[in-house]
């Protein structure tokens, strides 16, 4: 059986398997046989695919949920397929509809992945393969996340204490994925509101079978005079800096306290950097220890690290005795160019 070849060029990871040329999470249009979109975060989608028919760009492999959530955000993927001979989509637990790509039972591309059971999201299960391409967003040892029940307990305690003082609370997380978990975890509080952009995605989740609370939008609550100073309420909002006009309004007019949820909150500096009142470590990705567990579970002979701290994770794996290297530069992986190591520079889906 022919071995797969992995190549990386600007904004484009390509896998050659047999006669198939597969683009995974491309940022631009390139002729190929298959295009795989792992999930509906903007940094894993290509806007060009909504502008004209695919033609020579090949079939689109993605989950139904990814296609629907992408269209909710104005990114029309076109006609998708969820099955293709020799290819299998595997739930990666990152957000609703997120999938990894298993090729010929030999190579697995994780995309963004979480192996934790979190609310309505199942934990990812890693297949045994010869070659593993694994994300490395939190590929440094200092990134170790608390148990999700600890996060929920701590947050409820903060909300309860603030409610006793008549202070409203804004829970902030990325609008696709994190905000829906926050809605599920903390929707029992009343009054309960959601930012308009979160409401749109929550509605799409409900249509896809995730029973999230149908809350009043922030704009409707403001218009109806439901948001008041010295009256506690909870709102789910996208994660924004304290300088954002929406956040400034909630703080200055209603004395609201902002709690941000991010894997980067492991760092003590994150709260101050974002201007948050509280910053709680919670991510849709694996932490460092979980990434190592994924590699071990795969039994792979060759590991490629991709996104984020790819060089650091590869170095750690090599010290453990694995054959690992980051996907860097241009051309076949292995032709390393340190100055071109890939790093995520988009905040979309990075929290």
> What SS3 class is residue 88?
strand
Confidence of residue 136 (pLDDT cuts 50, 70, 90): very high
> What SS3 class is residue 125?
coil
> What SS3 class is residue 64?
helix
Q: What is the per-residue pLDDT for 48? A: 54
Asked whether the whole model's pTM tops 0.85, one would answer yes
Task: Let me know how long the chain is.
Answer: 351
- Class of domain 148-281 (CATH, top level): alpha beta
Task: Average the pLDDT over 322-339 and give the result.
Answer: 55
Confidence of residue 8 (pLDDT cuts 50, 70, 90): confident
Residue percentage of the chain with pLDDT more than 70: 87
Inform me whether the pLDDT recorded for 351 exceeds 80: no
Residue the block writes with tokens 């999230």: 212
The per-residue pLDDT of the chain, averaged, comes to 87
CA distances from 106 to 17, 21, 92, 127, 310 (A): 10, 16, 17, 9, 22
Distance CA 146, CA 262 (A): 12
Query: DSSP class of residue 83?
Result: -
Domain ranges of the chain: 5-143+285-340, 148-281
Task: Average the pLDDT over 92-104 and give the result.
Answer: 96
Query: DSSP class of residue 51?
Result: T
Q: Which CATH architecture has domain 5-143+285-340?
A: 4-Layer Sandwich (3.60)
Q: Which residues contact 313 (CB under 8 A, 6 or more apart)?
A: 134, 136, 139, 140, 288, 291, 305, 324, 326
Q: Report the chain's terminal Cα–Cα distance, integer Å.
A: 39
Confidence of residue 20 (pLDDT cuts 50, 70, 90): confident
Asked if residues 130 and 301 have their Cβ atoms less than 8 Å apart, the reply is yes
Task: Average the pLDDT over 6-24 and give the result.
Answer: 79
Tell me the per-residue pLDDT of 266-282, one tens digit each, with 9 for 90 and over: 998 999 999 999 999 99
- Tell me the pairing of strands 302-306 and 257-262: unpaired
Tell me the per-residue pLDDT of 183-198, one tens digit each, with 9 for 90 and over: 999 999 999 999 999 9
């Amino acid at each position: 059986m022919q071995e797969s070849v992995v190549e990386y060029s600007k904004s484009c990871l390509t896998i050659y398997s047999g006669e198939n040329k597969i683009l995974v999470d491309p940022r631009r249009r390139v002729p190929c046989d298959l295009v795989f979109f792992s999930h509906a975060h903007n940094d894993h989608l290509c806007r060009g695919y909504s502008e004209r028919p695919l033609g020579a760009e090949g079939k689109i492999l993605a989950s139904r949920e990814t296609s629907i959530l992408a269209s909710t955000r104005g990114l029309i993927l076109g006609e998708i397929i969820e099955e293709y001979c020799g290819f299998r989509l595997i739930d990666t637990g990152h957000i609703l509809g997120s999938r990894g790509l298993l090729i010929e039972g030999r190579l697995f591309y994780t995309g963004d992945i979480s192996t934790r059971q979190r609310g309505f999201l199942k934990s990812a299960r890693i297949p045994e393969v010869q070659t593993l391409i694994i994300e490395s967003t939190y590929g440094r040892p200092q990134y170790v996340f608390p148990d999700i029940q600890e996060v929920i307990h701590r947050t409820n305690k903060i909300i309860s204490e603030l409610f006793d003082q008549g202070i409203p609370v804004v829970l902030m997380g990325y609008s696709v994925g994190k905000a829906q978990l926050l809605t599920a975890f903390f929707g029992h509080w009343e009054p309960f509101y959601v930012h308009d952009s979160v409401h749109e995605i929550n509605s799409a989740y409900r249509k896809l079978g995730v029973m999230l609370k149908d809350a009043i939008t922030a704009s409707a609550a403001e218009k109806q005079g439901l948001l008041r100073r010295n009256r506690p309420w909870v709102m789910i909002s996208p994660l924004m800096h304290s300088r954002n006009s929406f956040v400034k309004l909630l703080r200055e007019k209603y004395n609201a306290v902002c709690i941000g949820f991010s894997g980067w909150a492991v760092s003590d500096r994150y709260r101050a950097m974002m201007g948050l009142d509280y910053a709680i470590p919670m991510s849709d990705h694996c932490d460092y220890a979980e990434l190592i567990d994924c590699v071990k579970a795969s039994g792979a002979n060759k590991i490629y690290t991709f996104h984020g701290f790819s060089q650091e994770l590869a170095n750690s794996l090599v010290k453990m005795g694995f054959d690992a290297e980051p996907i860097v530069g241009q051309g076949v992986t292995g032709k390393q160019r340190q100055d071109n190591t890939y790093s995520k520079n988009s905040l979309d889906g990075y929290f």
